[in-house]
Chains A and B, each alone.
Chain A
Amino acid sequence: MFRRLSRWAVTVPLALTLAVGLSGCGSGDSAAPAAAASPGGGDTTLTVFAAASLTGTFTELGKAFEATHPGTSVKFNFGSSATLAQQIVQGAPADVFAAASPATMKTVADASLASGPVTFVRNKLQIAVPADNPAKVDGLRDLADPKVKVALCAEQVPCGAAAVKALDAAGLKVTPVTLEQDVKATLTKVELGEVDAALVYKTDVLAAAGKVKGIDFPEADKAINDYPIAALSGAPAPEPAKQFVDLVLSPQGRDVLTKAGFEAP
């Protein structure tokens, strides 16, 4: 009897841990937000897939949305637009998709999952340098200097595609030391002082104010990234999806976005 008891004493917590661990993984996993949806009692969950560069602004807008729509909770899946697009195409249950490039939105639209995407903001590149600017960078031309360590986003992700466009427009050949997987990782390398400069979005420089310095350059105008947003066809919560898109496009939404450094389209 006693032995049995002690055996259970081990098994039960173990099983519980496993169960909690697994469910934790499930809701944390970007592909399965539906598991966390509809906790019961007619509450709706709005699932928004948004580019990582929208993390700050959309979190704020999500709170505003929840305040004006009682009973609706907004869940976000922030990440690289290309990854998000793949997840949506593979059947992730999302209601809204806000992408950092028309190309990634097109992936979703081509699978006839997004209807009528609208460009809601544009983002410009800036040169980010460590606060003390050790390599004394003050323009795009300095990045071509082989002594300057530069981090760029990989060409596969929107900020990398924009960087290539800007450098091409300037007729510059830059050999980066690394091609990072997203804009945040690129900026982190600047923040840590591991590189002397990086090309990132103006909004990311603003978000890291104090730790990095942003330098404007004229060719940035040639590499403006349009951000499209769309309510998704087959959305589990179509009504709130439309309302959220409306909020983003409203003057209130514009206000939040421009304060973070985005430009109006």
Chain B
Amino acid sequence: MTPSSASTGRGRAQRGPGSAGRVAGRIPWVLVLPALLGMAFLVLPLAGLLIRAPWPTLLERLSEPQVLEALRLSLVTATLATLVCLLLGVPLAWLLARAAFPGRRLVRALITVPLVLPPVVGGVALLLVLGRRGLIGQWLDATFGVTLPFTTAGVVIAEAFVAMPFLVISVEGALRAADLRFEEAAATLGASRWIIFRRVTLPLVAPGIMAGAVLCWARALGEFGATITFAGNFPGQTQTMPLAVYLALETEPEAAIVLSLVLLAVSVIILASLRDRWTKSP
């Protein structure tokens, strides 16, 4: 958070100098208890992982080749999925925010469906379209000999499918909040539409894009249902961390805890380090 926005925001809430500040700063106790309960509800399970973690053997378990492989695959696929989402999602968000076309509401609803769809359903849907016997998959297989399920590309597709709405929503929000006068000014100075988009619009909504990309990446990293359904589970090829956690739970709960801790640590570090940037909206 920038110093200015932080001080104005907090100053009013907690230590405002005037009487108006004091009134606004009074804590309504009715809110505090549920808020604390809410916090405990979200944080306690994570604390449980920390408490139950087999600390003495942690390093040893972490250095197992299967774990490292799953972690590497998770990081690579989540990053690739985020790139795919950026390439396709930013233009899509621009279209939704700036272009008026019939059925825009419906389109917006449709592209946000993966947010609420059970991921397994997403995986089945992907199989039916991109699977070996799917609508498009059949053609891909027959023409190019390409099959997506059970490949690392399949993992990226499953993750991108589930994560893209996060990016689109946050970029669209940023675009709507951006001041159009800058773009108009650029247009009057003779800039082409593409130049305006690249030199004015993109920098203007960069924090929003960053926010979306981080959310998107984090969601892709945690993706389980669509991945296991569409891409399957094979070590080194399609077995990402969440899948490894699930299977470890079958026989070795301690290993599952270790894997979960790694995922947790990676997510928290990324989300915490980038928070400042993406809360600052234009």
Q: Which A residues form the contact surface with B (CB < 8 A)?
A: 80, 82-83, 86, 149, 151, 154, 156-157, 176-181, 185, 189, 192-195
Contacts and interface: CB of A to CB of B under 8 A. Distances in A.
Contact of B250 (A151, A156, A192): A156
B182 interface: no
Contact of A192 (B127, B150, B228, B234): B127
B218 to A, nearest CB: 23
A154 B233 contact: yes
A82 B252 CA distance: 10
B234 A176 contact: yes
B247 A192 contact: no
Nearest to A176: B234
B132 A154 contact: no
B251 interface: yes
B234 A178 contact: yes
B122 interface: no
Contacts of B246: 181
A225 to B, nearest CB: 15
Nearest to B243: A181
Given A177-B232, A194-B131, A194-B133, A149 B250 contact: no
Interface of B: 127-128, 131-133, 149-150, 228-229, 232-235, 238-239, 246-251, 253
A178 B232 contact: yes
A254 B72 CA distance: 49
A12 B149 CA distance: 46
The residue in B229, B247, B253 that gathers the most chain A C-beta atoms within 10 A of its C-beta is: B247
8 contacts: A80-B250, A83-B249, A154-B233, A178-B234, A179-B232, A189-B232, A194-B131, A194-B132
A231 B180 CA distance: 71
B16 to A, nearest CB: 28
A218 to B, nearest CB: 27
Contacts of A149: 150
A119 B133 CA distance: 41
Nearest to B237: A177
A130 to B, nearest CB: 9
Given A83-B249, A86-B253, A192 B233 contact: no
The residue in A156, A177, A189 that gathers the most chain B C-beta atoms within 10 A of its C-beta is: A177
A192 B129 CA distance: 11
A195 B232 CA distance: 11
Contacts of A80: 250
A181 B228 contact: yes
Contacts of B232: 151, 177-180, 189
Contacts of B238: 178
B233 A180 contact: yes
Contacts of B131: 192-194
Contact of B247 (A86, A151, A156, A193): A156
Nearest to A178: B232
A180 B234 CA distance: 8
Contact of A82 (B132, B233, B251): B251
Contacts of B133: 192-194
Given A178-B238, A189-B232, A154 B247 contact: yes
A125 B44 CA distance: 43
By Cβ-Cβ distance, the 10 closest A-B pairs, closest first, are A178-B232, A177-B150, A82-B250, A156-B250, A193-B133, A156-B251, A179-B233, A178-B150, A156-B247, A194-B149
Given A176-B234, A179-B233, A192-B131, A83 B150 contact: no
Given A194-B132, A194-B133, A194-B149, A177 B249 contact: no
A154 B228 CA distance: 12
Contacts of A82: 250-251
Contacts of B253: 86
A177 B132 CA distance: 13
Contacts of A194: 127, 131-133, 149-150
B132 A193 contact: yes
B127 A177 contact: no
A181 B234 contact: no
Given A80-B250, A194-B133, A194-B149, 19 more contacts: A82-B250, A83-B249, A83-B250, A156-B251, A177-B234, A178-B233, A179-B233, A179-B234, A179-B235, A179-B239, A179-B247, A180-B228, A180-B232, A180-B233, A189-B232, A192-B128, A193-B131, A194-B132, A195-B150
A118 B128 CA distance: 42
A45 B150 CA distance: 43
A6 to B, nearest CB: 20
